[in-house]
Amino acid sequence: MDKLVERMIRAARLDASLYEEVEANRETLAQATTVVVLASLAAGIGGFGTGGALGIVLLTLGSLVGWYVWAYLTYLIGTRLLAEAQTTADLGELLRTLGFSSSPGVLRILGVIPGLASVVYAVVSIWMLVAMIVAVRQALDFTSTWRAVAVCLIGWIVQGIVLGLLLLALGDSAAPG
């Protein structure tokens, strides 16, 4: 457990060597999954007043699925669309690095403090985005941080479109006939 906490702190500090370490170590996938679950639980607990217990469960499950989808999109965009000459990566590398980029998310638990939820979520979301950019840069062996930003931006847009279409389809299927 000490190793996990140390890695989470290093990830939150945007330590590029941590992202290289977990990228190269296939055995850290379980730890990366744990980080995603902890960050999701923290978000659910932090927003307990609005989502309740069901919200915690749904947020955790949704975050796990979202992490996998995000890693896959990032993999495709970063290795096919925006790859640099030296870019080599597999899905596992993205799952591990992006999992650890969720480390700042454990602070979302502070959303239980009355009046702080919005500020906490905003600050932590930006911090997680920056960590994700570092994770993508390292996992895809990019020399340019801007290329990592572009991969994240394109992935965010694609994921938003897919999610919007899914919600639209679910909304149509739930409507009374």
Say how many C-beta atoms besides its own lie within 10 A of residue 68's C-beta: 17
43, 62 in Cβ contact below 8 A?
Answer: no
74, 157 in Cβ contact below 8 A?
Answer: no
- Each of the 177 residues of the chain gets a pLDDT tens digit; together they read 799 999 999 999 999 999 999 999 999 999 999 999 999 888 888 876 666 677 777 777 777 888 888 999 999 999 999 999 999 999 999 999 999 999 999 999 998 888 888 899 899 989 999 999 999 999 999 999 999 999 999 998 888 888 788 778 877 655 555
Retrieve residue 7's tokens.
Answer: 């890695």
Q: So where are the chain's domains?
A: 2-174
Write down the pLDDT at residue 29.
Answer: 97
Confidence (pTM): 0.88
69, 159 in Cβ contact below 8 A?
Answer: yes
DSSP letter assigned to residue 85 = T
